[in-house]
């Protein structure tokens, strides 16, 4: 697929949503870099994490453990637990990772790229969506982290600026249209309830995994739709 054909495969709505998430990621990435540096870490630490790990939630969790006095092992385990959710994501988009670039594609698996990819059933459109979103977010996130790391002392309290709320707010806006579907809405509500109930009791990352219990309400509805077709 040449680049011109590749870009024509993407619809305007998908490109708009990817751009919107990139803006939110830039703000959160800058926050991550600033928080890490203002907490006493060298600038290369958040930059290296972003290049090699590239998982915002896991990076925040690991840095939080370190800045609160935890050791490297605890930080790594926390990040691994939080990122365990990406394993089923990999199976969900395995068709777009076939062929050359598979390892790079695996590195680009993230919530947003998978969510946008799963919107489509056509393989060409799925592939174009995944790679466009993945590469765009990788570049934006890493540039933002670098800028945030070197501007950490200037930014100061990122929470006071509301940067920490930008990303979840954008994700909520993207998810709301999907909640019009009853089975999806019920699954999301069950997953949210499970996560909220277990958050005070379990380590960070585990409630997110347990929220997958919401799928028990989604899968039957999906099967009914397939039968109806």
pLDDT tens digits along 99-129: 777 888 888 888 888 888 888 888 888 888 8
**87 and 148 both lie in a single domain:** yes
CA angle 41, 46, 47 (to 5 degrees): 125
User: Residue 151 is part of which domain span?
Assistant: 3-163
Spatial separation of the C-alpha atoms in residues 206 and 208, rounded to whole Å: 5
| Cα-based distances in Å from 153 to 7, 150, 162 | 40, 8, 17
C-alpha 21/C-alpha 166 separation (Å) is 10
Q: For residue 137, what pLDDT is reported?
A: 93
pLDDT for 65 equals: 76
Tokens in use for 229? 């077709």
Give how many domains the chain has, as a whole number. Answer: 2
Share of the chain above pLDDT 70, in %: 74
Say yes or no: 24 and 127 in one domain: yes
Of 88-92, 113-117, 224-228, which one has max mean pLDDT? 113-117
pLDDT in tens, 145-156: 999 888 776 765
Quick one: average pLDDT of 86-91?
A: 80
Encoding tokens for residue 30? 């800058």
Which pair of structure tokens corresponds to residue 207? 């409630």
pLDDT over 70 at 189, yes or no:
yes
Whether 29 shows a pLDDT value over 90: the answer reads no
On the question of pLDDT at 226 being above 60, the answer is no
In a domain, 171, yes or no: no
In the predicted model, what is the mean pLDDT of residues 160-189? Answer: 66
**Nearest Cα to 167, choosing from 144, 183, 151?**
144
Position 168 pLDDT exceeds 50: yes
Asked if residue 81 is part of any domain, the answer here is yes
Residue with tokens 């089923």: 88
Q: Which single residue is written with the structure tokens 């099967």?
A: 223
Say if CB 168 and CB 31 are below 8 A apart: no
Instruction: Based on the fold, state whether residues 149 and 206 are members of the same structural domain.
Output: no
Q: CA 114, CA 195: separation in Å to the nearest integer?
A: 21
């Amino acid at each position: 697929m040449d680049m011109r054909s590749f870009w024509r495969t993407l619809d305007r709505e998908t490109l708009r949503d990817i751009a919107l998430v990139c803006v939110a990621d830039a703000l959160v990435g800058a926050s991550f870099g600033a928080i890490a540096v203002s907490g006493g870490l060298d600038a290369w630490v958040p930059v290296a994490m972003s290049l090699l790990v590239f998982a915002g939630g896991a990076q925040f969790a690991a840095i939080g453990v370190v800045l609160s006095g935890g050791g490297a092992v605890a930080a790594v385990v926390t990040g691994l637990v939080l990122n365990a959710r990406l394993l089923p994501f990999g199976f969900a988009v395995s068709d777009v990772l076939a062929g050359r670039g598979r390892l790079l594609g695996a590195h680009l698996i993230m919530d947003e790229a998978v969510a946008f990819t799963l919107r489509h059933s056509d393989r060409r459109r799925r592939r174009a969506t995944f790679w466009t979103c993945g590469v765009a977010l990788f570049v934006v996130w890493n540039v933002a982290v670098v800028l945030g790391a070197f501007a950490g002392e200037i930014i100061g309290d990122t929470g006071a600026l509301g940067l920490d709320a930008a990303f979840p707010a954008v994700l909520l806006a993207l998810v709301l249209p999907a909640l019009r579907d009853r089975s999806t809405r019920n699954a999301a509500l069950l997953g949210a309830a499970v996560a909220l109930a277990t958050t005070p009791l379990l380590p960070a990352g585990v409630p997110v995994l347990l929220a997958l219990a919401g799928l028990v309400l989604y899968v039957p509805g999906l099967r009914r739709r397939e039968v109806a077709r």
